[in-house]
Every structure is written in structure tokens, then in C-alpha cells.
Amino acid sequence: MRITILYNNKYLNIFLSVVSGIATLFVVTFTSSAQEAIHIDQFISSDTCKDCHSEIFDQWENSMHYLSHKDPVYSRISQFLRKGLTDQNHIKEAESCVKCHTPIGVETGFPKKVSDDLSKTPKIATFGVQCDYCHSAKTIKQMYNNGLVIQPGNGEDDPGIKYGPFDDAVPDFHEAEFSKMHTESKFCGTCHDVKHVVFGTGLETTYTEWKQSPYNAADPEKKINCQGCHMYQKPEIPATGSTIRPENPGTATDYSDERPHIFTHYFVGANTVVPAQFGDKSKGKMAIERLKNAATISVDTSKINQKKLNITVTNTGAGHSIPTGVADLRQVWLEVTIKDKNNKTGFQTGILNSRHELPEDSVIFRTVFGDGNGNAIINLAKAKEVLSDNRIKAKQSVTETIDLPEIPEKGSMVTARLLYRSMSRKILNMIPGKPFETQPIVEMAMKQNQI
Ligand code: HEC
Ligand code: HEC
Ligand code: HEC
Ligand code: HEC
Ligand code: HEC
């Protein structure tokens, strides 16, 4: 049998098949197939969604999703990591960042990679992870590196179906359909699990951490998805694992009927820096509220005569490890100070130096990646292995033993603090150009014990 393609375009294929001298003509038509390239004009600006969903828009505006493309920390780090690479495997990874940070761009053909001229990014794509991207997601084809399958409508004249949590929505403008996927962690997880595109190293593992945690309970009543914490948060309601997560009654549009719960769209994690740079005053505060309700700390002085201090940190509030996400860049560390009865400082650890860097002997909870030969690396594009990961898993505790140079005198005060900042200063200092401003430090937990 011989098949000849006589004609094809995206709507029509004409084949000629010749079997034992008998020729048959096949005509195959495609109306709208999932494989078909999506055009940028098919996506609708979030400003249009705002016309009806104004409250949700205001929450999402200047969130880390809204800023995922514009975030200067991300954009400068991704350009920095791309520079000077020569190994094709490293280059492939360093070019791949746009897949999640500029998803509408990648979906519709530009940018394809970090080294493209990003100033030519179509305007709508510069708004990062946005309304019509998330709500056009139909299925998931892989559980990492953004495996969402997107089916937008055809622009404002034919907005298509928006998928969401309601099975009884009576929308106007667009159609609506219930999507179980949107109510589940895996929807978030496909972007919140990042694997090296060649080596497969788990660079970000938030979803996997959650999946293996007690929050992923078999009993649906006890299960708490990403949305169950992050889309219940609002100002003064951090909605963590250690605080109440009350429902948020309200309406999905400015004119719809009241519903028992409207999922909030602030998407606050721990970033206290970037939204404020874009003029958002509330999200940094919300991140602090979240961080202050994530962990507890305790101090055990029973081994002090052996010059040992045991500090235990418990993850009481996060549905994944602390820290999570870019866990090689984030810094969560122990600051311990011992002062004698006259308030004179004796032992100290975890104190920033004059360049705002942490001494190497500090207890830092983080992931360290290696080059495959046991050498620690800074550039994730070269990450072939995880050398160490001492982060605090969900609902678990980690005890760190601190060796003291001498036995502190009786009556001394031990102060232990668990501190957070979103970026290692050492990395920020390496990035050429205008220096980054000093990162605020958030006290996640504090405990004092007298010896
Ligand atoms: C003309 C007003 C209007 C505009 C513009 C609009 N929507 Fe809606 N939308 C509605 C109404 C009304 C509902 C139903 C609310 C309800 O049932 O409580 C709705 C419901 C939804 C739902 C829930 C669907 C479900 O079944 O769970 C999603 C998701 C949604 N809209 C997304 C969007 C997005 C994304 C945009 C912009 C591309 C948008 N909407 C623009 C009016 C609008
Ligand atoms: C990161 C993806 C994401 C983005 C961006 C996003 N949403 Fe949602 N949205 C969701 C998810 C997930 C739910 C449902 C959560 C659940 O059921 O657990 C939801 C729920 C909704 C609903 C139902 C009402 C509610 O809030 O419970 C509407 C309407 C809606 N979104 C509109 C919007 C609009 C408008 C924007 C942009 C301003 C937007 N969404 C941006 C993921 C997103
Ligand atoms: C039980 C509540 C809870 C659940 C469930 C939860 N989180 Fe979190 N999340 C938190 C808390 C508390 C923090 C702040 C502490 C921290 O950074 O870990 C946080 C922080 C984050 C951060 C910022 C981390 C950083 O330091 O940069 C991201 C990203 C995040 N969560 C995503 C997710 C995703 C994705 C899921 C689902 C797979 C999820 N979360 C499930 C409570 C939760
Ligand atoms: C299309 C990919 C994508 C999807 C889907 C997605 N996210 Fe994200 N998310 C991102 C990116 C990219 C960032 C980081 C932006 C930055 O830091 O520049 C981010 C940031 C966040 C942050 C802020 C972290 C911080 O440090 O403060 C939270 C919280 C978060 N996402 C939660 C969620 C939740 C919950 C869902 C599911 C409802 C979800 N995300 C779905 C891509 C995605
Ligand atoms: C599979 C999706 C995905 C890909 C691909 C991806 N990221 Fe991200 N990125 C995220 C998510 C999700 C977060 C939020 C996690 C957090 O806040 O810790 C994030 C956060 C970041 C942050 C923190 C920004 C801040 O303001 O603190 C930096 C920096 C970053 N990514 C750099 C990169 C670089 C560089 C690449 C390419 C080598 C890349 N990302 C590829 C999903 C992705």
C-alpha cells in the first residue's frame, strides 16, 4: 500500500492511497484539534474579565502570578544563568524558564526561550500567569514543567468555555463548565514541580512535597489542597495549616448571587519584596502573616553541660517543606544568641556579615544541588543531583544540635529565632547591574530559654 498526501493545511488533508492498483481518495477534515497552534489573539485580556470579576482581578493584580514575567528578580537571574553557558544540556535548561513564567507567550509561539528579545513579548503575555490562561486549562499532559493543556476561546467575540469550580454557573459573555481539576492540587502542581529538562533533577518539588505530606489525606474531609490554604487567604486571615481557614462568602462577579465560598486570588506565598516594587501594599503584609504562622521553634538546654544546645523547628503551617519553591535560593535559617546575666553577648550564630551574607557555618534549611561529581553548583542549569536537603517537611520537626565553645554561665538567656528572606544575598550580589535592595528579614518564630 502506498499513501500519498495530495494536499494538507490545518483544516483539510487529502490522501491518495493505492492498494493493489486500486486508488482511493481520502479526505480528512479537522475542525478544531487540540494540536492546532493557538494564536495570541485567542486569549482575552484580564482587563476584560475585570469588567465583571473586579474583586478577583484586584486580588490577582500584582500577585506573583501577575508578575511572573515582569518580576525583576526572576528576569535578571534567568538572564544571568543563561550567560556564558556552552554545554547544550545546560543551555536547554537555562532557555526553558519562559514555559511557566511567560506561559501565554510560549503557548502561542513567542518567546520560545530566555534569550529571545523579550521586549517583543506580546503585551498580553507580559501579564504572566493570568485569568484566561488558568481558566482555559482543560487537562494535564504531564505533572511537571507546566503540563497544562490549554483550550482558549477565540478572543472577545467568541470567548469559549471558562473552566472553574462551579457546576451551576450561569455566566454571561463566556460559557462555563465545572472542572474537577481546578479544585485539585495537581492543577497547581504541574507548574510547581520543576524538573531539569535534560537531567530530570527535581529543581522545585512543591507539589511532590505536598503529595507525600499528611495534607494529601485519603479522607476527602481531611485533605487540604494548595487551594485550601492559598485560595482561602485574605488580609489578616493567613489560612495556614496552623490557623483557621474560614470560608469567604461572597459573589463571583459584581452582580451574581451570593455563594458560601469564593476562592481568593492573591496567590501569596512568602515573597515580601516583589509585589511592593510594583506598588502593592497588601501582599507583602500577607506574606509576613503566612510566614509567622508556618513554624514553631523550641530550645532544649538539657545537654548544656556537654556544650550542646538542641533547637527543634516544627513545620506546623505549610503544606510542603519550609522553604519550598526555589529552595536553593530562599533562606530560612537559625539565629541563636546567648547573653549572660549582664546582657553581654557570648555565643552567636546565624548573624549576617557587613555584606548581608550569612556565614557558611550557619544552620540554613535549604536544598544544595551538585554537578554530578559531588561539587555544589549555583547555576541550576548544571544541576545533576541533590547534594543535600535539610528542609523541614510538612507537619514534621527537625532538631539541630549547636556545639558551643564553652558552657554558658547559669542564668544566661538563649534566644533562638527562625528567620526568612526570599533570596540569598550572595546570589543577588553576583548579578551584574544595579544592586538589588536589601531584602527584608521576617521572623517566622522565636523562643527564649534561661539556662
Ligand atoms: C460580562 C460579565 C463577565 C465577564 C466579562 C467575564 N465573566 Fe466570568 N462569569 C460571569 C458570570 C455571571 C459568572 C457566573 C458566576 C456565578 O455563577 O456565581 C462567571 C463565572 C466564571 C467562572 C466560573 C466558572 C465555573 O463554572 O466554575 C470563571 C472561571 C470565569 N467566570 C472566568 C472568567 C474569565 C477568565 C474572564 C475573562 C476572560 C471572565 N470570566 C469574564 C460573568 C463574566
Ligand atoms: C493560577 C491560576 C489562576 C489564575 C491566574 C486565576 N484563577 Fe480564577 N481560579 C483558579 C482556581 C484553581 C479556582 C478554583 C479553586 C478551587 O475550586 O479549589 C478559581 C476560581 C475562580 C472563579 C470562581 C469563583 C471563585 O473565586 O471561587 C472565578 C470567577 C475566577 N476564578 C475568575 C478568575 C479571574 C477573573 C482571574 C484573573 C483576574 C483569575 N480567575 C485568575 C485559578 C486561577
Ligand atoms: C496547609 C496549608 C498549605 C498548603 C496545603 C499549601 N501551602 Fe504553600 N505555603 C503555606 C505556608 C504557611 C507558606 C509560607 C511558608 C513557606 O514559605 O513555606 C507557603 C508558601 C508557599 C510558597 C512560597 C514558598 C517560598 O518560600 O518561596 C509557594 C510557592 C507555595 N506555598 C505553593 C504551594 C502549592 C503549589 C501547594 C500545593 C501543592 C501549596 N503551597 C500547599 C501553606 C500551605
Ligand atoms: C502556569 C504555571 C502556574 C500554575 C498553573 C500555578 N502557578 Fe503558582 N506560580 C507560578 C510561577 C511562575 C510563580 C513565580 C513567579 C515569580 O516568582 O516570579 C508562581 C508563584 C506562586 C506563588 C507565590 C510564591 C511566593 O514566593 O510568594 C504562590 C503562593 C503560588 N504560585 C500558588 C499557586 C497555586 C495555589 C496554584 C494553583 C491554584 C498555582 N500557583 C498555579 C506558576 C504557576
Ligand atoms: C515548571 C515551571 C517553572 C519553570 C520552567 C521555571 N520556573 Fe521559576 N518559578 C516557578 C515557580 C512555581 C516559582 C515560585 C516558587 C517560589 O516562589 O519559591 C518560581 C520562582 C522563581 C524565582 C523566584 C523569584 C522571586 O522573585 O523570588 C526565580 C528567581 C526563578 N523562578 C527563576 C527561574 C529560572 C532562572 C528558570 C529557568 C532556568 C525558571 N525559573 C524556570 C516555576 C517555574
DSSP 268-313: -SS--SHHHHTT-SHHHHHHHHHHTTSEEEEEE-TTGGGTEEEEEE
Give the tens place of pLDDT for each residue, 112-160: 999 999 999 999 999 999 999 999 999 999 999 999 999 999 999 999 9
Q: Give CA–CA dist 254/317, Å, rounded.
A: 33
Helix (H, G, I), strand (E, B) or coil at 206: helix
The 8-class DSSP code of residue 259 comes to B
Structural Rg of the chain based on CA atoms: 26
Q: Give CA–CA dist 383/199, Å, rounded.
A: 8
Report the pLDDT averaged over residues 337-353.
95
CA of 111 to the centre of ligand 4 (A): 20
Nearest residue to 399 (alpha-carbon basis) of 306, 324, 305, 334? 334
| Residue 26: pLDDT over 70 | no
CA of 310 to the centre of ligand 3 (A): 27
pLDDT given at position 431 = 94
Q: What share of residues in the chain are helix, strand, coil (percent, to 5)? A: 25, 25, 50
Ligand 2 atom nearest 133 alpha carbon:
5
Give the residue whose CA is nearest to atom 33 of ligand 2. Answer: 131
pLDDT given at position 185 = 98
Phi-psi category of residue 57: left, alpha or beta, with phi > 0 → left and psi -120 to 50 → alpha: alpha
Query: Which pTM does this prediction carry?
Result: 0.94
pLDDT band (50, 70, 90) for residue 34 = very low
All structural domains of the chain, each given as residue ranges with its CATH number in brackets, are: 1-31 (no CATH), 40-184+225-290 (no CATH), 294-450 (2.60.40.10)
Give the tens place of pLDDT for each residue, 421-447: 999 998 999 999 999 988 899 999 999
CA of 319 to the centre of ligand 3 (A): 6
| Residue 32: pLDDT over 80 | no
% of the chain with per-residue pLDDT over 70: 92
Q: Alpha helix (H) ranges present in 248-404? A: 274-277, 282-291
Burial 256-282 (b: 16+ CB within 10 A, else e): beebeebbbbbbbbbbbbbbbeeebeb
Give the tens place of pLDDT for each residue, 86-108: 999 999 999 999 999 999 999 99
| Residue 33: pLDDT over 80 | no
Q: Give CA–CA dist 445/335, Å, rounded.
A: 11
pLDDT given at position 23 = 57
Residues with beta carbon inside 6 Å of ligand 1?
A: 44, 48-49, 51-53, 131-132, 135, 159, 162, 164-166, 169-174, 176-178, 252-253, 256, 259
| Nearest ligand (C-alpha, residue 323) | 3
Give the residue whose CA is nearest to atom 12 of ligand 2. Answer: 182
Sign of the four-CA dihedral 175, 178, 180, 185: positive
Identify which of 79, 92, 96, 101 to mutate to test ligand 5's pocket (most ligand atoms within 8 A of the CB): 101
CA 442 to chain centre: 19
**Average confidence score pLDDT of the chain:** 93
Q: Give CA–CA dist 300/424, Å, rounded.
A: 29
Q: How many CA atoms lie within 13 A of 55 on its CB side?
A: 13
pLDDT given at position 393 = 98
| Nearest ligand (C-alpha, residue 442) | 3
CA of 304 to the centre of ligand 3 (A): 35
CA of 411 to the centre of ligand 5 (A): 46
